[in-house]
Chains A and B, each alone.
Chain A
Amino acid sequence: MQPFDQPVIALREKILELHEMADRQGLDFKEELNLLEERLRRLERDIYGNMKAWNRVQLARHPERPTTLDYIREMCEDFMEMHGDRHGYDDAAIVGGVALFNGRPVTIIGHQRGKDTKENIRRNFGMPHPEGYRKALRLMQQAEKFNRPVITFIDTKGAYPGRAAEERGQSEAIARNLFEMAGLRVPVISIVIGEGGSGGALGIGVCDRLLMLENSTYSVISPEGAAALLWKDAGLAERAAESMRITAPDLVNLGIADGIIPEVVGGAHLDVSLQADKLKTVIAQELEELVRLTPEDLILQRTEKYHQIGT
């Protein structure tokens, strides 16, 4: 299937080629280039200015979309990854550790997809087992001990639906995190950077501020799953993506997300550094506000934040 923004991609490549040809042959294509660039801007406005939910789903699933570790590397001065749940397992589908963010110590945790098949297999395509949630909880409780804010990146299709995961308490692990995150006495900021899939996403996502990248999605079930369940036809995923209200603007309207972080035109994957800058600016602002609150006020506001959803 061709990406919905194929015309933009094609035109970008054409402009790039022309630039290269001009450099190589020492010719002047200025006029042609100006025209093409003008056409590109119009095309981008048309295509990215009228994004359907399904288009955002495609961008959120883009194989080159930046991952948790990409953003951590770009945003933090120092990051030390910490491994393991202390009960026999280190789930690579969730990464976490300590870092300096604008000079401030923070704990950062996120789902971690792979960038190629080999890494995806090692990281189970970013779909955690219970041990991933338990590692995350260990790190969050450590953050509380040292009074460090917690930043979590949400980027998973969901918790892994496997036999071992069930046997070792997938439900309990997620439930425990919701319960303990509700009472954390340090600020928690969660950012949906790609796909936020159901309970497996929420398992590290109970927070004081929920932010979403412009083209990220957050849903109770994948559009394909919803279509299969509601209309017995997974082919209706595009329609389900619209009716399930899973985009960043949808979730702001529903009173669930607190803000949208603009994306690089054409998607975060086109410029990781620039995207990380945008992310960092917003997180820094939110953090400044949250660290001023007493733990009591923090939990009071968190209670109100969740209590109002759906009422």
Chain B
Amino acid sequence: MQAFFRKPKKFVTLTSKEQRVDVPVGLMTKCPKCTLIQYTKQLEANLRVCTCGYHHPLTAAERFRQLFDAGSVELFELPEVKIDPLSFKDYPEKLRGDEARTGLREAIVCGVGKVNGYPLVACVMDARFRMGSMGAAVGTAIAEAVRYATKNGLPVTIFSASGGARMQEGMVSLMQMAKTSLFLKQHAEAGLLYISCMTHPTTGGVSASFAMLGDVNIAEPGALIGFAGRRIIEQTIREKLPEDFQTAEFLLKTGQLDEVVSRRDLKNYYTRLLRIHGEGTNHATI
């Protein structure tokens, strides 16, 4: 392995035997789709999109950096919630573990900033924390951010990346689906724009609530999006599902998305949408 890092090569492809060796976090990143290994810095310069088109997952911080104008973002405090409503065995320890590992307090970061000058409230899920599952913290953070947007007449976007409900919060978790949808309804009734961007993965209770409720629903290429898991469906209907089942492209084909947008075009896509919807900005300067 050491040899690769000394070679001043841009891209390195590993043989199949070497693929099993973990690439150190930080310096190099391996693409799970085409197995290409490249310098992380290089990948970041390309918005973490591989040359093969694979979209590597983003942290919430990276998402804010990629979409918003430098220096424009103000992050919201996470609202206070009950940490362990069911007193579920080992759950608080798991939360503390993820917090230590990711530096995040929960699976979401919310804030307000500007996209090429257009103000926008954003809720960004981070799948590194409890696989992005939605508990009271995620649900309430979205509710509060959307409420802020409604109060201030601002458009809102949610980047979802979630396996669905947070099992250890049981029914409290399920009810966050209702909570988030309720505040989005009030935002919609105020005539304000909501852009939902689904990233890999957006499934279960998250896909069946706020993720599908955008005025505009888009997704990143290749993202897995669906209500039920592939394995459960295959067991239920006793047939093999097509390869592209529940991918962003599949959802576009079946009429469930407005567009699949590459990360390279995303900021531009948002800018055009925000301009057309004319929210809270000086049109004359655009």
Contact = CB atoms under 8 A, between A and B. Distances in A.
A199 interface: yes
B169 A180 contact: no
A251 B85 CA distance: 11
Given A176-B212, A220-B167, A302-B182, A198 B205 contact: yes
Nearest to A177: B181
Interface in B165-194: 165, 167, 169-179, 181-186, 188-189
Interface residues of B, number: 59
Contacts of B173: 220
Contact of B233 (A163, A199, A303): A163
Interface stretch (A17-25, A166-174, A288-296): A166-174
A174 B227 contact: yes
Contacts of B172: 254, 256, 309-310
Contacts of A165: 227-228
A254 to B, nearest CB: 6
B79 A311 contact: yes
Interface in A23-50: none
Contacts, number: 173
Given A256-B175, A309-B136, A161 B233 contact: yes
Interface string B144-177: 0000000000000000000001010111111111
A206 interface: yes
A106 B213 CA distance: 28
Chain B CB within 10 A, most for which of A202, A205, A303, A311: A311
A183 B189 contact: yes
Contacts of A287: none
Given A199-B177, A243-B86, A170 B208 contact: yes
A182 B181 CA distance: 7
Contacts of B228: 159, 161-162, 165-166, 170
A311 B140 contact: yes
Interface string A200-243: 00110110000000000011110000100110000000000001
A83 interface: no
A161 B165 contact: no
A190 to B, nearest CB: 11
Contact of A220 (B80, B165, B188): B165
A163 B245 contact: yes
B283 interface: no
B117 interface: no
A183 B150 CA distance: 15
B167 A178 contact: no
Given A199-B204, A251-B171, A310-B172, A162 B178 contact: no
B184 A179 contact: yes
Nearest to A226: B167
A260 interface: no
A165 B205 CA distance: 15
Interface in A145-173: 159-163, 165-172
A178 B85 contact: no
B177 A202 contact: yes
A307 interface: yes
B31 to A, nearest CB: 27
B129 interface: no
Contact of A306 (B82, B175, B225): B175
A244 interface: yes
B178 A306 contact: yes
A251 B241 CA distance: 37
A118 to B, nearest CB: 20
A160 B208 CA distance: 13
B230 to A, nearest CB: 9
Contacts of A202: 174-175, 177-178
A179 B237 contact: no
Interface string B212-234: 11000000000001111100110
Contacts of B232: 161
B208 A310 contact: no
Given A174-B227, A175-B210, A180 B233 contact: no
B146 to A, nearest CB: 11
B208 A246 contact: no
A15 B143 CA distance: 57
Contacts of B179: 306-307, 309
B88 A243 contact: yes
Contacts of A243: 86, 88-89
A221 B204 CA distance: 11
A183 B170 contact: no
B227 A307 contact: no
29 contacts: A161-B229, A163-B237, A163-B239, A165-B227, A166-B245, A169-B255, A169-B256, A174-B208, A174-B227, A176-B212, A178-B209, A179-B181, A179-B182, A179-B184, A180-B185, A182-B182, A198-B174, A199-B174, A203-B208, A206-B178, A206-B182, A218-B171, A306-B182, A309-B175, A310-B82, A310-B172, A310-B175, A311-B136, A311-B140
Given A170-B208, A306-B179, 8 more contacts: A166-B233, A171-B208, A179-B188, A219-B171, A244-B171, A246-B171, A310-B85, A310-B139
8 residue pairs, one from A and one from B, having the closest CB atoms: A310-B136, A161-B228, A178-B181, A182-B182, A175-B212, A171-B207, A174-B208, A170-B227
Interface of B: 79-82, 85-86, 88-89, 135-136, 139-140, 143, 165, 167, 169-179, 181-186, 188-189, 204-205, 207-213, 225-229, 232-233, 236-237, 239, 241, 245-246, 254-256
